């Protein structure tokens, strides 16, 4: 990582400025090398405000190392942040505390800084409404300027409402859990499930109460890698535990590690016909090119057992488009199911001729899969409600997870998750019978229910994935077409009922690591 100086000629000509520049570059290099602590070279209080402001305003673009600017204060001798290119993201940013950037992680290993950061996040959330009211006239003027010049303008407050809900609801949580996976005869991996907004710090791994040698990876989903070639024989994997710290206190917490084995994985892909702009072009009958390019990777992934296409697989249903779809999917050499969307159904029955029933169910181990097709008003028909009821009655005692796969996000109704935008635009308020008729069917189910839909991601400024949670119900959507956050979703299932999600980015022009998908 190389550091540079602004106005370098002017700086080098001035002995004082040259000295400040040399001091700053040397200090940053020492920080990256782990030779100094952040409090020695940074104004920690200003940086706590800086990172808190970035996070509260969803400006993680300013959290990329090449957007960092540093000012060396000649009075204090400490470096201060200069904000630059703090573009709010269309999707939702994670807390800076979960960053892997070597210029950020040292801050969150400092207790003085983390205490101030958490307090500023809470303070800025409390002051946000007053800030918006105070700046409302300026915001209106900015919107009018963009409208006058015919430039797209997006009201960022909708995304911030969702982000602030997530921060408030999880910032004080300590529901971290640890799962052990026996990767091979020589390797054990402890994975972290941290649904809270703030990161944790794994401090030590214990076996039967005694420390063991472990290597901690420095990534958002921290894992501990343990080689079996140690002086202790790990005969009982249920004897592992983890000591860790949270950002809310300086105390050490200890939790046992759950031992689980990978059972199977499947993938879901939504809106695979891709962009709406393909209408009346040679690509109209083809699947989304980035998804076509991703199919060999799906074929090579031996952990994947099958896939589910969550609707809008073709732009216009026809013999040509469906045959092209089948030819493309055949390259995966894996079975797949389809939860049809509105673009797949034209009332002619051609979809069923090619792919069978519009709704169905099957099981894989202790997991029940239900494919449903809500109507275009997002209502689930009486016939499918009866099918859902009967399917659950037959299987609920034998399964620990239920996956309900649809095209429409029929759990949106204008009241629940109002910040989520589907491809179909505004949700049909008071039409969907999801909350009145579907949810009660799962009332006494003790496992987890995952509603996975595919009607998102078709537009460039629209997030390609969402995840919300209410109790044991998870609400997920993943899709493609906008070519900025195009993705498909991999779902891994473990023998203890645990489920993990990974977003696989497939945008050809703008590949980006989308990371694990997790609910708040």
| Helix, strand, or coil (residue 363) | strand
**What's the pLDDT at 319?**
96
Measure Cα distances from 108 to 100, 101, 114, 123, 391 in Å.
11, 11, 6, 18, 48
Do residues 307 and 340 make contact, with C-beta atoms less than 8 angstroms apart? no
CA atoms lying within 13 Å on the CB side of residue 219 = 13
CA atoms lying within 13 Å on the CB side of residue 402 = 28
Tokens (6 digits) for 89: 């993201």
**What's the pLDDT at 342?**
94
Do residues 72 and 79 make contact, with C-beta atoms less than 8 angstroms apart? yes
- DSSP state, 425? B
pLDDT of residue 439 exceeding 70, the answer is yes
Tokens (6 digits) for 139: 């915001």
pLDDT of residue 348 exceeding 70, the answer is yes
> What is the DSSP annotation of 58-77?
T-GGGGSGGG-EEEE-TTT-
pLDDT of residue 28 exceeding 90, the answer is yes
**What's the pLDDT at 226?**
87
Tens of pLDDT, residues 257-315:
988 888 999 999 999 999 989 888 988 999 999 999 999 999 999 999 999 999 999 99
Across 142-146, 371-375, 429-433, which has the greatest mean pLDDT? 371-375
**What's the pLDDT at 516?**
52
Tens of pLDDT, residues 389-419:
999 999 999 999 999 999 999 998 877 887 7
**Sequence spans of domains, the chain:** 1-171, 177-260, 263-505
Residue 304 pairs in a beta bridge with 265
Tokens (6 digits) for 311: 């609707």
**What's the pLDDT at 220?**
53
Q: Which fold has domain 263-505?
A: Purple Acid Phosphatase; chain A, domain 2 (3.60.21)
Do residues 52 and 120 make contact, with C-beta atoms less than 8 angstroms apart? yes
Q: Which fold has domain 177-260?
A: Immunoglobulin-like (2.60.40)
pLDDT of residue 222 exceeding 80, the answer is no
**What's the pLDDT at 511?**
44
**What's the pLDDT at 427?**
65
Burial track 212-225 (b if 16+ CB lie within 10 A, e otherwise):
bebebeeebbbbbe
Tens of pLDDT, residues 442-478:
988 999 999 999 999 998 877 788 888 888 999 999 9
Tens of pLDDT, residues 476-488:
999 999 988 899 9
pLDDT band at 520 (very low <50, low <70, confident <90, very high): very low
Average pLDDT, rounded, for the chain: 89
Instruction: Please classify residue 171 by burial: count the beta carbons closer than 10 Å to its beta carbon, then call 0-12 exposed, 13-18 middle and 19+ buried.
Output: middle
């Amino acid at each position: 990582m190389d550091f540079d100086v602004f106005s370098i000629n002017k700086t080098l000509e001035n002995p004082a400025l040259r000295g400040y520049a040399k001091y700053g570059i040397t200090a940053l290099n020492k920080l990256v090398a782990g030779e100094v602590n952040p409090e020695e070279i940074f104004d920690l209080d200003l940086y706590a405000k800086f990172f808190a402001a970035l996070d509260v305003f969803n400006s993680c673009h300013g959290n990329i190392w090449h957007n960092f600017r540093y000012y060396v204060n000649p009075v204090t001798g400490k470096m201060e942040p200069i904000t630059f290119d703090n573009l709010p993201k269309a999707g939702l940013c994670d807390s800076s505390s979960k960053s892997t950037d070597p210029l950020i992680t040292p801050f969150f290993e400092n207790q003085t800084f983390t205490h101030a950061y958490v307090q500023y996040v809470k303070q800025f959330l409390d002051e946000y409404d007053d800030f918006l009211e105070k700046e409302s006239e300026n915001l209106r003027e900015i919107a009018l300027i963009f409208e006058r010049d015919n430039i797209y303008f997006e009201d960022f407050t909708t995304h911030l409402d969702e982000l602030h809900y997530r921060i408030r609801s999880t910032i004080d949580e300590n529901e971290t859990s640890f799962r052990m996976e026996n990767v091979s005869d020589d390797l054990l991996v402890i994975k972290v499930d941290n649904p809270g907004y703030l990161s944790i710090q794994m401090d030590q791994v214990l076996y039967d109460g005694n420390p063991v040698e472990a290597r901690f990876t420095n990534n958002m989903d921290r894992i501990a890698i343990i080689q079996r070639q140690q002086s202790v024989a790990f005969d009982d994997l249920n004897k592992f535990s983890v000591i860790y710290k949270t950002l809310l206190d300086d105390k050490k917490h200890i939790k046992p590690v759950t031992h689980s084995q990978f059972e199977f994985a499947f993938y879901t892909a939504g809106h695979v016909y891709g962009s709406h702009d393909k209408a009346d072009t040679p690509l109209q009958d083809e699947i989304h090119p980035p998804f076509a390019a991703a199919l060999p990777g799906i074929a090579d992934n031996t952990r994947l057992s099958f896939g589910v296409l969550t609707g809008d697989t073709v732009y216009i249903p026809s013999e040509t488009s469906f045959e092209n779809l089948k030819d493309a999917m055949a390259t995966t050499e894996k079975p797949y199911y389809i939860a049809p969307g509105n673009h797949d159904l034209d009332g002619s029955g051609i979809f069923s001729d090619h792919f069978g029933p519009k709704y169905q169910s099957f099981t894989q181990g202790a997991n029940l899969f239900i494919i449903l097709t809500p109507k275009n008003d997002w209502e689930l028909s009486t016939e499918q409600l009866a099918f859902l009821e009967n399917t659950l009655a037959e299987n609920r005692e034998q399964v620990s997870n239920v996956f309900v796969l649809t095209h429409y996000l029929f759990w949106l109704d204008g009241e629940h998750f109002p910040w989520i935008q589907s491809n179909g635009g505004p949700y049909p308020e008071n039409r969907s019978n999801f909350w009145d008729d579907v949810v009660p069917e799962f009332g006494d189910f003790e496992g987890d229910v995952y509603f996975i839909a595919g009607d998102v991601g078709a537009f460039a400024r629209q997030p390609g994935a969402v995840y919300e949670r209410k109790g044991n119900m998870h609400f997920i959507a993943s899709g493609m077409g906008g070519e900025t956050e195009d993705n498909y979703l991999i779902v891994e299932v473990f023998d203890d009922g645990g489920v993990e999600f990974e977003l696989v980015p497939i945008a050809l022009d703008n590949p980006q690591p989308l990371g694990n998908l997790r609910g708040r």
